Amino acid sequence: MITFDISQWRAWAPGAQTTADWQHWSQASQPFAPTDQAPDVSFLPAMQRRRLSRLARMAFAVGWPLAEGLPDLPLVFVCRHGETPRTFAILSDLAREQPLSPTQFSLSVHNAVIGLWSIMRGSTAEMTALAGAGDGFEQGVLEAAGLLHEGAPAVLLIVVEEQPPQAYSDWVDDVPFDYALALLLTPGDTWTLTQQSAATPAPGNEPHALSWLRSLLTGQTTFTHTWKRRAWTWRRKP
């Protein structure tokens, strides 16, 4: 069992940016339609914005405001599938025997987002990129809790996924739309997270991180997520 507090959160999906947007979503239970709406990263200079992919923009949009005033803030970045549009473009160039862009390749690797975060914030704090499976959210919380246990006063957790190109549809079925969630974790005992063995679950109909957010916004104090044979139970003090 691990314990922690969540002092702030932010989330982004097409059509939902503010707390009021997410409150409405949690009550309406309506899915998000894929759109080209861009995350707002206007707080960055134009030269820096141009370097960010859509995935990176989502991560920065939710994480940057939570990091304000917190220098040397450790970051745990969780993304199961990574930069699929960028890597698909690289593979397409290979198939056409076209020359590859070193810049595109360097920005396609899984830890590219946290590298850009470190450069743009001038931060040398500890940063980790995780490619978790269906319970990557909880794996990221475990990593963040370990940093809190080692003395970090706060840890930023960002979970983000971008809907992959259509060519991946037979293999990637857990990203129905783009989304990002950021949590600022601090030491405390408001939240507990435990893990037990469980039977294999039926798949859910929305991203797990957003199912958790729905439970938070609707006032639930207990939430369980099962992946393969692992059952994770979140509990919050009323």
Residue with more model confidence, 28 or 191: 191
pTM across the whole model? 0.91
Is there a contact between 56 and 38 (Cβ–Cβ < 8 Å)? no
Banded pLDDT at 229 (limits 50, 70, 90):
confident
Is there a contact between 182 and 158 (Cβ–Cβ < 8 Å)? yes
Q: What is the mean pLDDT of residues 153-181?
A: 91
Q: Distance (Å, rounded) from C-alpha 107 to C-alpha 3?
A: 35
- Torsion on CA atoms 153, 111, 165, 60, rounded to nearest 10: 40
Is there a contact between 124 and 118 (Cβ–Cβ < 8 Å)? yes
Per-residue pLDDT at 53: 92
Query: Element (H or E) spanning 219, and its range?
Result: none
pLDDT (tens digit, 9 = 90+) per residue, 2-48? 999 999 999 999 989 899 999 999 988 666 766 678 899 999 999 89
In the three-class reduction of DSSP (H, G, I as helix; E, B as strand; rest coil), residue 75 is classed as: strand
pLDDT (tens digit, 9 = 90+) per residue, 80-99? 988 888 888 888 888 888 88
At the fourth CATH level, the homologous superfamily of domain 2-236 is Thiolase/Chalcone synthase (3.40.47.10)
